[in-house]
Amino acid sequence: MTQQAPSSVDAVIVGAGFGGMYMLHRLRKLGLSCVVFESGTGVGGTWYWNRYPGARCDVESMQYSYAFDEDLQQSWSWSELFAGQPEILRYANHVADRLDLRRDMRFETRVTGAEFDAAAHRWTVRTDRSDVVSARFCIMATGCLSTARKPDFPGMDLFKGQTYHTGHWPHGGVDLSGLRVAVIGTGSSAIQAIPVIAKAAKHLTVFQRTPNFSIPSRNAAMTQEYEHRWKSNYPEQRAAARMTQSGILRNPNDFSALSVSDEERLAILETRWQSGGTSFMAAFNDLVTNQTSNDYAAEFVRDKIRSMVKDPATAELLAPKGHPIGTKRICVDTDYFLTYNRDNVKLVDVSKKPIEALTETGLRQAGIDYAFDAIVFATGFDAMTGTLTRIDIRGRDGETLAAKWEAGPRTYLGLMTAGFPNLFMITGPGSPSVLSNMIVSIEQHVDWVTECIAYLGARQQDCIEANRAAEDNWVLHVNEVAYKTLYPSANSWYMGANIPGKPRVFMPYIGGVGKYRETCDRIAAEGYTGFEISPPVREAVAAE
């Protein structure tokens, strides 16, 4: 039974993923009363929802884990280099038990609206269970990829078989054995799911609109020696990761792909390919800024695909050509390309002839009717803004967040947005977020918000709000930095390109986790430059 929420708290936290969990822990320590609302039945966020076969983190587990608690990081052991979804979810539950987080969480409860009362300096937060909670702070720990999206093909309701979305996979698992299965999409989720589904299904047809670059993960069982190497100086390694570009220690080479001979370049790329994972993109320091350098790395991966996939026509379809490598989220896989050598797997190119409709028995594309028992939508998310703008958030003067962000998200540091006092975002648009190790960025944001709230408390101040000029400058800066790279040239979800009608704006901040942290710390140390801080309402009235 989900308990009734309290009618008044210091802080409402929305979401019980890694961001919401740590936020609750920090604010409790500060002595604040909190309630966390979570639409799922448990903690874990992304790792609660994305239970599709093969779901796995592509940041190494020794790095994709909380760093704030030395006992926790020393006592927890990961079984593999890259943990699978079930293990990460067990970890999230372990942390929730250890910190006794659930007593302040209300599950199966979705926040539907939040309205700021400028006269009282308080938020009124509403849920789909009719809770109405008054709170001084409202903290959106809603995740960057939490609103799953299915295309709106004609006949979506006609299909009589089973349909699934990778981001909302049934909790009991799905038995696809012996079935004719379709997977629509070839992004990170599909690239992980396809090899596993292919082994179970009688036949698998993959509908690909855009091929993606993918690097083998080289996942393996954790060894004691490797674990010890991390744990023997964990705090120092975590501190070093916080100051990197991506929040991941991955030995970046600080020289251009153009500064070495052809043989050396190939050897370096081969070494990275053999060691596996996203560190491939750290082979040279200009892979996302110099088209020629990028072309070398892209062609290297295309050649690998050609060497792995036996049928040359399928290999060519799988070899990405329309965007620079790394400008759409680089994928990490286990046997993805080799899967297309199986007799029971077929690739269908829908780039020129889109899927026309779902039918009672399957789907129609290019005038051909395909019959399936199950269709898997691996079609992604309304990323970064979708979850926030679907909540009826109303700031000062009743302005809605959805209206304010109509032409694209506007934030100061990805932490706050002008006109919405005391509303914080954890890894919001305009922060490194999805371009980084999410847990590193989550911890940085939660720590910053906690210290900001403590600062207000220590000075008997009530309210903090981003200033519009500071926000305008930050938005400009986020754009300037993005347009120095090759990223904006790709039709990626970073650009909102996967959602029809979504403004084309580069949403995350690409300036780097380390530099961004320094900026946030400096702004706090200067007394929150670019923010307006105001006293409690009674004092404000008395002063007038």
Q: Which of 190, 198, 388, 423 binds ligand NAP (CB under 6 A)?
A: 190
Interface with ligand NAP, residue 184, by CB under 6 A: yes
The Cα-based distances of 416 to 471, 495, 511 in angstroms read: 9, 20, 18
Q: For ligand NAP, which residue has the nearest CB?
A: 187
Phi (first) and psi of residue 495, to 5 degrees: -95, 0
Interface with ligand NAP, residue 56, by CB under 6 A: yes
Supply the minimum distance, in Å, between the C-beta of residue 208 and ligand NAP. 7
The Cα-based distances of 485 to 87, 264, 311, 347, 516 in angstroms read: 36, 24, 35, 32, 17
Interface with ligand NAP, residue 355, by CB under 6 A: yes
For 43-66, b where at least 16 C-beta lie within 10 A, e where not — what string? bbbbbbbbbbbbbbbbbbbbbbbb
CA-based radius of gyration for the chain: 24
Q: Which of 17, 185, 247, 395 binds ligand NAP (CB under 6 A)?
A: 185
Interface with ligand NAP, residue 490, by CB under 6 A: no
Cα–Cα distance between 287 and 305 in angstroms, integer?
Answer: 19
The Cα-based distances of 329 to 73, 304, 480 in angstroms read: 28, 19, 20
Nearer to ligand NAP, 122 or 272 (CB): 272
Q: Which residues contact 532 (CB under 8 A, 6 or more apart)?
A: 463, 464, 465, 466, 467
Supply the minimum distance, in Å, between the C-beta of residue 347 and ligand NAP. 12
Dihedral, CA of residue 206, residue 212, residue 216 and residue 217, to nearest 10: -100
Region of 52-60, 169-177, 233-241, 302-310 interacting with ligand NAP (CB under 6 A): 52-60
Interface with ligand NAP, residue 51, by CB under 6 A: no
Q: Which of 61, 109, 127, 189 binds ligand NAP (CB under 6 A)?
A: 189
Interface with ligand NAP, residue 387, by CB under 6 A: no
Supply the minimum distance, in Å, between the C-beta of residue 219 and ligand NAP. 11
Amino acid at 250: R
Interface with ligand NAP, residue 394, by CB under 6 A: no
Query: Which 130-149 residues touch ligand NAP, going by CB under 6 A?
Result: 145
Supply the minimum distance, in Å, between the C-beta of residue 149 and ligand NAP. 8
Region of 188-196, 239-247, 306-314, 481-489 interacting with ligand NAP (CB under 6 A): 188-196
Query: Which 417-436 residues touch ligand NAP, going by CB under 6 A?
Result: 434
Interface with ligand NAP, residue 498, by CB under 6 A: yes
Interface with ligand NAP, residue 195, by CB under 6 A: no
What would the DSSP string read from start to end of 380-438? -B-TTTHHHHHSEEE-GGG-BHHHHTTTS---BTTTB-TT-TTEEESS-TTSSGGGS-H
Phi (first) and psi of residue 111, to 5 degrees: -75, 125
Interface with ligand NAP, residue 26, by CB under 6 A: no
Dihedral sign (CA 369, 372, 378, 382): positive
The number of residues that bind ligand NAP (CB under 6 A) is 29
Structure tokens at 500: 């029809």
Cα–Cα distance between 412 and 142 in angstroms, integer?
Answer: 18
Interface with ligand NAP, residue 512, by CB under 6 A: no
Can you give the binding site for ligand NAP, defined by CB under 6 A? Answer: 56-58, 145, 151, 166, 184-190, 192, 207, 209-210, 329, 332, 350, 354-355, 378-381, 434, 493, 498
